[in-house]
Amino acid sequence: MSQTTIVPHTQEPLVTRQYPSTSELDATIAKAASAQKEWSKVPLAERIAIGYKFIDEFKSLTNSTPLFLELTMQMGRPISQIPSEINGFLDRAQYMLSIANEALADVPLTDTDKPGFRRFIRRTALGVVLVIAPWNYPYLTSINSVLPALIAGNAVLLKPSPQTPLTAERFVTALQKAGVPSDVIHVVHMSPELTKHAIESKEVNFVSFTGSVVGGRAVEEAAVGAKGIKGVALELGGKDPAYVRSDADLDYTVAELVDGAMYNSGQSCCAVERIYVHESVYDPFVEKYANLVKTSYRLGDPTSPSTNLGPVVSLASAARIRKQVADAVRAGAKVLIPEDLFPEAKEDTAYVAPQVLVDVDHTMDVMMEETFGPIVGIQKVSSDEEAIKLMNDSQYGLTASVWTRVPVSSSSDSDDSEDAFLKIADALETGTVFLNRCDYLDPALPWTGVKDSGRGISLSRYGYDQLTRAKSVHMKMKTA
C-alpha cells in the first residue's frame, strides 16, 4: 500500500510514499527501542549540543533545498508566508534547548527534617515516543514534541500527515546529520491501520498526537486497548473566540482579528473563528472588518509571491466549508463579502473565498463546529457576562482573546484596567487567554487545551515533564 500527496491548487500528484508491512514496522519499532537504551546514556550536555548542531544543519538545509516551494506545493500556503513557519520552528527549537538543563535536572529535596537521608527526583526518559504530526503547520507542530523527546533521552517515531510527508523527511535528515543516531529517530509513513498497530505496540511508550477530535479519539482508543498502559497527549481542534470590548482600539483590533481568522486560509487550530463585539462598537467594527477583508486579500496560485490567500488543503475540505456557510445563510445569517470579489473560488476547486457572517447565533454550526477555513462569524453582545457565557458555550477550549484598552496608569478606572481583563480571563474555559493578540504560541508558555481541544502539554518546561517520568530516589545514608 502507498499514499500520494495531491497538490491543493492543481489537484495533481506530487509525491508517493510506500507503507511498510506490519513486520517491517515492528522491526523499525524494535530498532528504536534498542537504540533508545544507548541514547539515554548519552550525557544530557552532549544531547543538547547535538540539538544546537541540528539548528545549524536545518538552516543549511533550508538554504540548499527548495524547502519553501516544497511546503507550498504540499499544503497550499502562499510561499510568501512559509518563512514565518520555518523561523518559528527554529525559535521553538532554540528555546526548548535553552531550558533543557534546568527542566531535566534532578530535583533535590532539603533533608533538614530527615537527617541521614538523601532524596531527589530524577527525570527519566519514557522510551519510544510516537509523534503523529498534522499537515497545517507540519514543522511548527512536530518540533514541539520531537526535539524535546530526543533531548530527554527518548527515541522517536515521526509519522507525518500524508499531505506533508517531505517535511518529516527534511526534519529527520537534519537531526541525523547533527548526530542523532539513525535508529533513534525514524520517519514512518503509515496507513490508519498501521498507525493503530504502532500505538498498540508494547514497545511504544507514549503517543503525541496533533489533529482532529475524531483522530484524537481514535488514538486514545488504540492506546487504551494496547498491551500495557501508555500515556497519550492530544492536541486537537478549536473554535477559538475573540471578545471586543467597548473600549478596544478598533483599527488595531480589526487588523489583528482579520489576520487571526484568515492567515493560512484559517487552517489553524487556534485561528479566530468567532468574534463577539460589544453592542456600542458593533456597527463600526463590522464595517471596518468587512472592508479590510474585501481589500486585503489576493486569492490565487500560492506559488506566486503576490498571493496572500491560498487554497484550503483539499476538495473535501473546501466542500465542507462551503456547506457550513450555506447552512448558516439558510438559517438566517448574512454574508458581507461578495463572491465575485474572489472569482478563483469555484466549485470543485480547493479555493474558498474569505467570508464574514453576521446575524449569527449558536444554533448554527458556523459558530459551534470547527470550520478550519477563511470564515468568521461576528455576534453582538451587551456585556462582559454575555461574552463570557457565549465564549464558554463550546465543546472546545484551546485559546481565547480579549481586546480592550490597558491603561498605563494604575489610577485609571478599574473597570477599564488590567484587572477587568484578568477577571474575564479567570472565567474563560480555555488553555490560553490572550490580551490584544491572537493565534500565537509562545514557547515559554505551556500549549494545552481543555474539553475537546485535548489534554497534555507541549512547549515550556512542562513539555519536558510530559516526555519524561519522575523517578523518586530515596537514600538512607550510612551513619556512624
Q: What are phi and psi of 439, to 5 degrees?
A: 50, 55
Task: Identify whether the C-beta of residue 358 lies closer than 8 Å to the C-beta of residue 334.
Answer: yes
d(CA 33, CA 2): 25
d(CA 76, CA 2): 22
DSSP 36-99: HHHHTTS-HHHHHHHHHHHHHHHHHHHHHS-HHHHHHHHH---GGGHHHHHHHHHHHHHHHHHT
The angle that helices 82-98 and 44-64 make with each other, rounded to 10 degrees, is 170
Task: Identify whether the C-beta of residue 89 lies closer than 8 Å to the C-beta of residue 67.
Answer: no
Long-range contacts of 416-425 (CB under 8 A, 24+ apart): 416/247, 420/384, 423/384, 424/243, 424/384, 424/387, 424/388
The amino acid present at 394, given as its one-letter code, is S
The angle that helices 67-75 and 165-178 make with each other, rounded to 10 degrees, is 150
The length of the chain is: 480
Residue 282's contacts (CB-CB under 8 Å, 6 or more residues apart) are: 378, 380
DSSP 415-460: GGSHHHHHHHHHH--SSEEEES--S---TTS-B--EETTEE--BSH
Residue 119 burial (C-beta neighbours within 10 Å; 0-12, 13-18, 19+): middle
| Terminal Cα-to-Cα distance of the chain (whole angstroms) | 69
Task: Identify whether the C-beta of residue 347 lies closer than 8 Å to the C-beta of residue 316.
Answer: no
Annotated active-site residue 235? The verdict is yes
| b/e per residue 31-56 (b: at least 16 CB within 10 A) | bbbebbeebbebebeebbebbebbbe
The catalytically annotated residue of 85, 235, 273, 370 is 235
Locate 102 and state its grid cell: 534546568
- Residues labelled as active-site residues: 235
